[in-house]
Amino acid sequence: MTSATPLTPVEQARYSRQMLLPQVGPEGQQRLRDARVLVVGSGGLGAPVSLYLAAAGVGHITLLDNDVVELSNLQRQIIFDTASVGQPKAVAAAQRLRALNPEITVVAAVETLTVDNAESWITSADLVLDCCDNFPTRYLINDFCHHLGTPWLFAALHQFRGHFALFSADTACFRCLYPRTPVTEGNCSLAGVMGTVPGLLGLWQANEAIKHLLRLPDSQPGHLWNCDALRSTMTAIRLVADPTCWCGQKHPDPRALHTHSLESWDREELELTWHEWQVLATDKALLLDVRSEQEHRAANAGGEWLAWPEITARLTQLGGKSPVGLYCQRGQRSLALARELRAQGFRQVFSIRGGLESHH
Ligand SMILES: [Zn+2]
């Protein structure tokens, strides 16, 4: 339902370029004006996301962040300027959005999302944007959004790579994909980040959000997009719901998940030692080195090397009948890939713990 109030002449002038699009028009613009979005995090992702949503006329934007602007943020958190250093991020970002577009309502909350406040924040949103930098918050968003039937847009990045996905009540949930925090998680302060990467990811997130709010038919939930800004590539995989996941229960209670450690959700053995792999491996088993071709040539523990796009084709060929072991240098890349492949439905895939470095 869009509001009956017609757009004012000022709104018509402000949004005229996008309203010319047949996918938007006055009705779409009214939809955007009526929309309520919750942006969790006002950092590298939250900056471009909230700027573009505000500029496009998304009518109600709530920013949730309890952090303070630091000088080292300015390289990528383009919503702030040098004078913002020392201010609460949510407050400084809200000021910038109000200056950009006084036609919309912006609420700034200097707090973090917790198990106690998640329901009240998420209930009042039509769409939640995950612009945070940590897995506990992301699991909270997933669990309460799933519980309340609120769609949410996930995005995360690591150095030059990033992912985004739209999760809704009809798709797999985030726990289907990541039953526990991936070991490859590293935040920008430790791993480093190129400022353009959260910019690119944040723009995709804003673009997906606008498409979703406009109810465009080509909005594509249930796909995980992988972006590599170093190689300039983008690929998508379809997310498959895990029938054993929490989200498949009849009356799942999100609070119960956050009273236990996340480790209790690691229901299924994803990692094997080399010894366990040797016990499991038959003559039909497939061992894959998932490092670069160059690394494989320099030293390897046997098995085949395949380019990443060829891996899924090879696994499809095996038809799930034979175990597949993945190894890399230390077991982190192979674990991340094994998780992605499991999410695609390849249940026979295992990551070898410790990788080449633990092979004797
Ligand atoms: Zn799930």
CA of 359 to the centre of ligand 1 (A): 34
- 177-207 pLDDT, tens digit each: 888 766 554 455 556 889 999 999 999 999 9
Q: What pLDDT was estimated at residue 261?
A: 36
CA of 142 to the centre of ligand 1 (A): 9
CA of 179 to the centre of ligand 1 (A): 8
> Does this chain's domain 9-264 share its CATH topology with 269-358?
no
Q: What pLDDT was estimated at residue 76?
A: 96
CA of 288 to the centre of ligand 1 (A): 28
Strands 271-272 and 324-327: unpaired
Q: Which parts of the chain sit beneath pLDDT 50?
A: 185-186, 260-267
Supply the CATH classification number for the domain 269-358. Answer: 3.40.250.10
CA of 217 to the centre of ligand 1 (A): 24
CA of 290 to the centre of ligand 1 (A): 26
CA of 343 to the centre of ligand 1 (A): 10
Instruction: Work out the angle at residue 61's Cα, subtended by the Cα atoms of residues 17 and 123, and round it to the nearest 5 degrees.
Output: 130
CATH topology assigned to domain 9-264: Rossmann fold (3.40.50)
Q: What pLDDT was estimated at residue 260?
A: 42
How many whole angstroms from its chain centre is CA 226? 10
Provide the greatest CA pair distance for the chain. 73
SS3 349: strand
Q: What pLDDT was estimated at residue 265?
A: 34
Q: What pLDDT was estimated at residue 189?
A: 56
CA of 65 to the centre of ligand 1 (A): 26
What is the domain partition of the chain in residue ranges? 9-264, 269-358
CA distance 205 to 63: 15
Q: What pLDDT was estimated at residue 185?
A: 47
Output phi, psi for 100, to 5 deg. Answer: -70, -45
CA nearest neighbour of 296 among 279, 282, 308: 308
Q: What pLDDT was estimated at residue 149?
A: 94
